[in-house]
Structure 1
Amino acid sequence: MARMLRSCLQSLLKLVNSVIGLTGMGMILYALWMLRAWFKQIGGGGGFDSSPPWFIYTFLGLGVFLCLLTCSGHIAAETANGHCLSCYMAFVFLLVLLEAAITADIFLNRNWEEDFPEDPSGKFDEFKNFVRLNFEMCKWIGLSVVAAQALSMFLAMVLRALGPDHESYYDSDDDNEPARLPLLRSQSLRAPSPIESNLPLNNDWSVRIHDRVSK
């Protein structure tokens, strides 16, 4: 029963963790599209002024971080190791704190745009306008991602409490145990001693001496 419950939790953690991975891949694709549009806008120049702005770098970095977090989550779910699950929960918790801080700053601070540096490409303004025009869709997407992160933390916590599957380790040890030889061998397989091999010769010699004495 415990093994079945652990297997279900591992599968659920992988499934929920995949939502975070899909979000990261989407952010990477969007960042690459913005990067391509930025280089196309500046005419493909390679100078200092043609370097990508902070918004594209941030989006790309967050996407890569989410993909790496997804890989670590799959490894932690597969192994059910306590240290891996603890590290995974810590990184997810820090990510949730960062998202909560940014969300609180946006909703509580009217001049929140001044907290961010100026974006020379204008992609940050385009992203803000897109979110404002599609606020309902973006809200549900954001809530889904946050719910997936919170659920992954909860599943990792429960899986860490259950611990790894020790029974499978014991079964594998029993399967790999070498065959043991018997300590006592059968008497029929025991090699004859030199004394036993010389017994017939000694009997013949005593018979010959007895015949000579009788003569």
Structure 2
Amino acid sequence: MVRRQSREGRGLGWPACCLGFLLKLLAFLQAFAAVSALIYAAWILSRWARHHQLHLRDLLSPDLWFPSLVMAAGIFYCLLLLAGYLAAEINTGCCLCFYTIPAMAMMLLEAALAAHLALNQHWIQELPEDRTGELHNLLSFIHNNLDLCKWAALAIFATQVISSFFHM
């Protein structure tokens, strides 16, 4: 690791070190959600592959839209968190800005999606048919464990907000 120096010749000091550690810790905590999405998508695809021939080109087929969407969201979120981790390590305003803008856009997208799901009672009818059946399984799990899912979503969103606050 390269030791950075301030203008006076000393290190950046403990406040910058603590801020960098806190930003990395928050990125690490958020990474659990991203990696969980990737593992869930891989699990759906492995279950689908047991009963059907699965090739790489099949990921773009309409039958597998749900696991493909979950995997794409997980990959995007992992890349965003990697950028946040690197920005916390470099600890310059420019790098932090390059992470903060897409992170804020992601949080606004998540809030808009949550508002759409809360306000539109017929949102499930707008989705294409999920031939894997996992969307139905996920919705029944969320319905059966609604309190746990609310707290998990709130914890993830709070971690994102705190991380964005410290990145500014």
- How far is the alpha carbon of 1:112 from its aligned partner? 1.0
Alignment match, 1:132? 143
Q: Distance in 2 between matches of 1:98 and 1:45?
A: 31
What is the RMSD of the two structures over their aligned residues, measured on CA atoms? 2.2
| Cα distance in 2, alignment partners of residues 5 and 141 from structure 1 | 30
1:183-198 equivalences under 5 Å are none
Q: Which runs of 5+ in 2 are unaligned?
A: 1-10
Residues 45 and 96 (structure 1), Cα distance of their counterparts in 2 relative to 1, 3 Å cut: closer
Aligned residue identity for 2:115 = A
Identity percentage of aligned residues:
33
State the one-letter code of the partner of 1:87: F
Query: In 1, distance between residues paired with 2:164 and 2:54?
Result: 45
Aligned position for 2:8? none
- The aligned counterpart of 2:64 is 53
Change over 3 Å in CA distance of 1:3–1:64 after alignment to 2:
same
1:75 corresponding residue in structure 2: 86
Contact 2:58 2:64 in 1 (8 A): no
2:35 to 25, 34, 45: 25
* CA contact 1:39–1:50 (8 Å) conserved in 2: no
CA change 1:80–1:125 in 2 (3 A) is same
Mapping for residues 100-115 of structure 1, pairs under 5 Å: 100-115=111-126
Q: In structure 1, how many angstroms separate the alpha carbons of the residues matched to 2:165 and 2:60?
A: 44
1:117 is matched with which residue? 128
Amino acid at match of 2:29: V
Q: CA deviation at 1:114?
A: 2.2
3-state SS in 2 of match to 1:110: coil
Q: 2:49 aligns to what?
A: 39
- Residue type of the partner of 1:39? A
Deviation of the 1:45 alpha carbon: 5.6
Map 1:140-159 onto structure 2 (within 5 A): 140-157=151-168
Summarize deviations over 1:162-191 as a string: whole Å, max 9, x none.
Answer: xxxxxxxxxxxxxxxxxxxxxxxxxxxxxx
Residue 120 of structure 1: SS of its match in structure 2? coil
Query: Alpha-carbon deviations, 1:80-102, whole Å to 9, x = none?
Result: 12221111111111111111111
Q: SS state of the match for residue 27, structure 2?
A: helix
Mapping 1:91-102, distance limit 5 Å: 91-102=102-113
Counterpart amino acid of residue 131 in structure 1: I
Who wins on radius of gyration, i.e. which is larger? 1
Gaps of 5+ in 1: 158-215
May I ask how many residue pairs the two structures share in their alignment?
156
TM-score for both structures, normalised by structure 2: 0.85
Alpha-carbon separation, structure 2, partners of 1:11 and 1:50? 39
**Equivalent position of 1:193 in the other structure:** none
